[in-house]
Chain A
Amino acid sequence: MYSLLDTFISWFVLIFGVGAPLYVIFKAIGFNGFREITVYSKYNTFLYRVNPAIKIVFAVVIMMVVTTTIWWIGAILTVAVLSLYITLEHGKRKLYIGSLFIMSTLVGSLWGYAPFVTYSTLSVVFPHFTPDVIWTWPSYFAIMGYQHVLTLQALKYSFQISFRSTAIMASALLLVMTNTPSQILRTLHRFHIPDPILFSIMVAMRTVSFVLEYLNESIKIQMMRGLGSKHSKYLKPIFFFIAAMQGLVPTIIHIMRGGKDTGISADTRGFRATKKRSYVESTPINRLDYYMLAIVVILVVMDVAINIMGFGRTIPYN
């Protein structure tokens, strides 16, 4: 028989998985902090001087390496890329905020995967798989796609594969923090990426920093209106999570309404007028770019070597 306490714990764990990362983002990072790691700011250390094309290649290679090698390579690369944040403007602060963000991504990905990993997947991942059950979910959780039980192996597997997303996230943020949207547009255009995709990327880069600001405003308005005010302050994170969920639709609609104007504004300024675009600022390749390119080549060679050494396959883990 599933007790009331078990039900409470199950729901608490479920909400914790989604709520904790959001809570970290909103409370510890705040929308100003989130803006700091998603927006370019002018500075002059080597990462700002490296050609954006090389940085895009670097991010792509990071993605390639973490998806084709064993999990701890992804973990090492996450730490390595994060440590580069120290060289940015307000480096210590960006490293701190970036680390919190990566941590919340890790927790979010872990809880996003773990309850859904099937026995069949785990038997492929872990040879001679014998499940170590650590929690049994209420039967109705199956409606959400949850497996009947949560195993230690599911947690372990989810933790490991989460490093794929953290390394990619860290390098993508590095690109965004050290290049203006137009520099990235210019570079991607040279890679012959179709214009509509370029424009979407550019608008996304512009609006990403506002998403949290609007959502934050929506949450605070709900709190002002009294959400959770009748309950203990210890339940505040749960109400915070509820407010975030409730605020998503108005936030997205608010952003979409703005997106329509952004599109009209670009189209009425000749966007997609010609196949070629000219650029006022040129981005020549300099010596620094060759150094960075050498790192990229080393990463590719390392990827091949790791695969040859037998650490390439993502599964099975043993």
Chain B
Amino acid sequence: MSKAIEVNNIEFAYLGSNDKSLSIHEFSVEEGESVLITGLSGSGKSTFIQCINGIIPHIIDGTFDGSVKIFGNDTKEMKVPEISRTVGTLLQDPERQVINYTVEEEVAFAPENFNIPAAEIKEMVNNAISSVGIDHLKGKETLKLSGGELQRVALASVLTMDPRILILDEPTSNIDPEGTNQIFEFLRKEVGKRTLLVVEHKVERVLPFIDRVVVFDQGRIVIDDKKENILNDVSLLEKLGIEIPENMFLARKMGLKSYDIETVSQYISENRIALKMPERKIGDKLSLRTSGNVKYDTGFDLNFNLEFKSGTITAIVGKNGSGKSTLFKGLIGWLDDMHQAVSDVKIETPEKVIKDNNIAERGKIIGYLPQSFDLMLINRTVKRELHYSRRVRGNSNSDSDIERITKLFTLEKYMDTDPLMLSQGQRRRVAMAATIAGGPKIILMDEPTSGQDYYHKKNLGDEIGLLKQMGYTIIMVSHDMRFAFHYADRMVVLDNGKIVADGTPEEVFDSSEIYGLLPPAEFSLRRGIIV
């Protein structure tokens, strides 16, 4: 077997920075090997990937030393297009990758760039489309596809040139559970056919398909081990803030050789070990009652009638197109200029009933944290951002309230910093703090864990846990079943515009698979076990 990737003494610092973002002495991958690369956000994973596909040093400026060889060829001596014939790269956000109008045009983009004859391209496009299982999307417009579908189109486009090395850089971070399952299903089939580097936070989902685990921390490789040995590294992984499935912890604790769910579940069952369920609590006081109907000219029809209690975290889940976003837009009064929709959404709190779509009125009682939270950061400093809501609303919060919120989200250090210059996790905290500072007690969060690593998700979970204790009503739309299992008190499942399940995560996960929602390992371990 030949070496697909050889890395020797590489160091990289971004332009204008004295700190090294990456420092790797030696690293190699055999041809056909599958490697999971994981680590916290900012640990150097993406920088490393960009060294492999030649983006560093050819496109991103900085100080680069050392050598990266792809099948014996030094990337410094090659151009990016030349490297791209061997190394295919799928990025995190499909909307940012796909640039063509139809699916076929997108998939044909790479071979067209290499000036391959049209007849050959057609065959390559058909093969790539079939390999990813998206034949049904042929002829469709990319703008009308769901995130999961779009990510598979982007994957097919990368595969058209049949690269010997395939890099998937957090391919499931921004897509729904169904799309995630399809990407992992593709990975399962692909193992051994080509060299795979998979950057992923969802360790639990990728482990079955890979040979080796590489963990980054502060620009260095701190773990590089075979999958079979990873149980020995569980403590270190936890210390590094990596998302470790509970079955791995338990297997390590119980001295089991295998950490697959069936083995661990059987051991637990046989030994009558009690696993604690996350504590769920539904508040007593009604905070919001909402009912409504939204009709699109496409025929989609959303009907709902829901009540939310204060001091409760509710996760609204479902496949793409099930109506989650429409429900949120209805609640916050954003459906008015969607010409294709006819809506009648009423919201009611114990104090008042709001029938019209006045955004400012709804904003008094509902705070909204969008998925693209950067769009709400309009002030020059974090301090001004937090005071903004208070200023424009009137004195709804005192200085001490702002101080309390600052402490709650640990933003003291950044008060004079431009919020847009902070890291993704910090920006999310500023946006959330600013939402709370406006005074609403009902907080709607759209995909709050999207693109966040385990460490930041845990922080978020702790923060919303505290808000819950303070009596806030948290309603979030999420694709992250693990997060919902750990932190939600209640789950509402939407399917094709209808509420099909509503209960505790345990009750919902019992039957959620029929709606394309795979329960997390933590639930599977506890299924049928009396605690």
Query: Residues on A close to B: CB < 8 A?
Result: 26-27, 30-33, 39-42, 180-182, 202-203, 206, 209, 214, 216-218, 220-230, 246-247, 249-251, 253-254, 257-259, 261-274, 276-282
Contact = CB atoms under 8 A, between A and B. Distances in A.
B347 interface: no
Interface of B: 50, 53-55, 59, 79-85, 87-89, 91-93, 95-97, 99-102, 104-105, 108-118, 121-122, 125, 141, 143, 154, 157-158, 161, 332, 334, 337-340, 359-360, 362-364, 366-368, 370, 372, 374-378, 388-389, 392-394, 420, 434-435, 438
Counting from the closest, the 5 A-B pairs by CB-CB distance are A273-B81, A224-B363, A180-B101, A226-B393, A270-B113
A249 B385 CA distance: 14
A31 to B, nearest CB: 7
A30 B337 contact: yes
A253 B109 contact: no
B339 A33 contact: yes
A276 B53 CA distance: 23
A280 B121 contact: yes
Contacts of B338: 30, 32
Contacts of A270: 81, 84-85, 110-111, 113-114, 161
A225 B110 contact: no
A217 to B, nearest CB: 5
A221 B111 contact: no
Contacts of A266: 99, 109
29 contacts: A30-B338, A32-B337, A32-B340, A181-B100, A182-B100, A217-B372, A221-B368, A221-B375, A221-B376, A222-B376, A223-B360, A224-B366, A224-B368, A225-B392, A229-B363, A229-B392, A229-B393, A249-B378, A261-B93, A261-B96, A265-B89, A265-B99, A268-B158, A269-B84, A269-B113, A269-B161, A273-B84, A280-B104, A280-B118
B360 A221 contact: no
A181 B89 contact: no
- The winner among A206, A209, A265, A277 for most chain B CB atoms within 10 A is A265
Residues of A contacting B: mostly:
helix
A268 B375 contact: no
Contact of A280 (B59, B85, B108): B108
Given A182-B105, A272-B81, A274-B113, A280 B125 contact: yes
Contact of A278 (B55, B87, B116, B388): B116
B101 A268 contact: no
Contact of B392 (A226, A263, A267): A226
Contacts of A214: 372, 375
Contacts of A33: 339
A208 to B, nearest CB: 12
Contacts of B109: 182, 266, 269, 271
Contact of B389 (A216, A226, A263): A226
